[in-house]
Amino acid sequence: MEHTASERPAARGARRRRSLSFGARLLRDYPVLVLAIPGMLIILAFQYYPLYGNVIAFQDFQPYLGIGKSLWNGVQNFAVVGNGDPEFLNAVKNTLILTLIQTVIVFPAPIVVAITLHTLLSNRLRQLVQSILYLPHFMSWVIVVAIFQQVLGGTGMINNWLRSHGLDPVHIIGNAEAFRALLTSQVMWKDTGWATILFLAVLSQIDRSLYEASAVDGSSRWQQILHVTLPGLRPIIILLLILKLGDSLSVGFEQIILQQPAVGTEASEVLDTYVYNNGILGGAWGVSAAVGLVKGLIGLALVLAANKLAHRLGEEGIYRG
């Protein structure tokens, strides 16, 4: 991330000046610090300061008493994680299933689309398709859910067509059994196109001579994709999988909250909605904060572990250290 000092005269100058006293540096650099302060304050207030609020995971928290006066109750709130509370286990189960689906089905989809787009001969056509496919990414979940209802719902486009042709309507919206498939198709509709952007950038950087060499050796297009394109995508695939792992316990919160009333919690409760429903709505602040804390720590541990594993496999990962 940092350039070497020799590339940048400014940085070299800065190193020399480092022998200045703190006061002198403050006097010299205060205009820079003034520019940094407003943004830093927001990050400190809403990203770091809330971490302190996690102490309510160890409290019998009462909103009217606040953190200062609520009573401590040790690790009692964490009992729900350990003692097999059925609601909690159901949320864990749904979360893990959705994570699995998102890794196995949702994640590879943009790679396929990106390779298809990359091998198009016409630039203009490629740009047209790209602009169409990026668009849903900028729609809110409310819009996406509303559009899916209009298309797949009981009186939606597809069912109207089926009825007018004398066929049986399909029951998808509000059907607990089809809920996972619905969530998956919504995620794919919204973000598959957008996710191609990174893969396309990497594809355009693959060394052309590799393709040429393999063509000389008589590779077909399919063999080239298998032996040149996919290995070229390997680092970015691993990087994105690591980042995804850290987020793996957060599966489609807004999307699920919006559709939960229609299908019930049995099929739709995940860890995030569990925290929201029991904490903010249900008033079980301490227990929800405990679940949120455990979830956050597992996510962090997963990123760090995956990063280490990537290094073992000889990849860059997200950081070195």
Partner 1 sequence: MTTLAPVKPSTAPPTGPRRQAVIDGMPRPGMPERIVKGIFLTVISALVVVPFVAVISTSLATPEEVNRAGGFVLFPKHGIDLSAYRSIFAGGTVTQALLVSGFVTVVGTTISLVLTCTLGWALSRRGTLGNKPLLMLVLVSLLFNPGLIPTYLVVQQFGLLDSLWSVIVPTCVSAFNVIVVRSFFTGLPAEILDAARVDGASEWKMFRHIGLPLSKAVVAVVGLFYGVGYWNSFFSALLYLNDSAKWPLQLVLRTYVVNGVELGGQDLGIGSESLPPQTTIQMAILMISVVPILCVYPFIQRHFAKGVLTGAVKG
Residues numbered 83 to 122 that lie near partner 1 (CB under 8 A) are: 113, 116-117, 119-121
**Binding residue for partner 1, selected from 134, 232, 241, 244, defined by CB under 8 A:** 134
Q: Which stretch binds partner 1 (CB under 8 A): 78-86, 93-101, 286-294, 308-316?
A: 286-294
Enumerate residues 192-221 that contact partner 1 by CB under 8 A: 192-193, 197-198, 201, 208-215, 220-221
- Helix, strand, or coil here: 167? coil
User: Cβ contacts of residue 170 below 8 Å, gap of 6+?
Assistant: 152, 158, 159, 162
- DSSP one-letter string for 194-211: HHHHHHHHHHTTS-HHHH
**Binding residue for partner 1, selected from 14, 100, 298, 305, defined by CB under 8 A:** 14
Backbone angles phi, psi at 95, to 5 degrees: -60, -50
Among residues 44 and 97, whose Cβ is nearest to partner 1?
44
Q: Which stretch binds partner 1 (CB under 8 A): 73-81, 85-93, 94-102, 278-286?
A: 278-286
Q: d(Cα 304, Cα 312) in Å, to the nearest integer?
A: 13
Q: d(Cα 264, Cα 174) in Å, to the nearest integer?
A: 9
Backbone angles phi, psi at 148, to 5 degrees: -60, -40
- Helix, strand, or coil here: 139? coil
| Amino acid making up residue 116 | T
Q: How far is the CB of 30 from partner 1 (least distance, A)?
A: 8
Enumerate residues 23-42 that contact partner 1 by CB under 8 A: 25-26, 28-29, 31-33, 35-36, 38-40, 42
* Residue 225, token pair as written in the block: 């994709």
Enumerate residues 47-86 that contact partner 1 by CB under 8 A: 47-54, 56, 63, 67
> Which stretches of 135-177 are DSSP H helices?
141-152, 157-164
Q: d(Cα 266, Cα 269) in Å, to the nearest integer?
A: 6
Q: Which stretch binds partner 1 (CB under 8 A): 70-78, 86-94, 246-254, 309-317?
A: 246-254
Q: Which stretch binds partner 1 (CB under 8 A): 43-51, 69-77, 80-88, 99-107?
A: 43-51
Q: How far is the CB of 71 from partner 1 (least distance, A)?
A: 17
Task: Print the binding letters for residues 142-181 with partner 1: x by CB under 8 A, - otherwise.
Answer: xx-xxx-xxx---xxx--x--x------------------
* Residue 222, token pair as written in the block: 């399919």
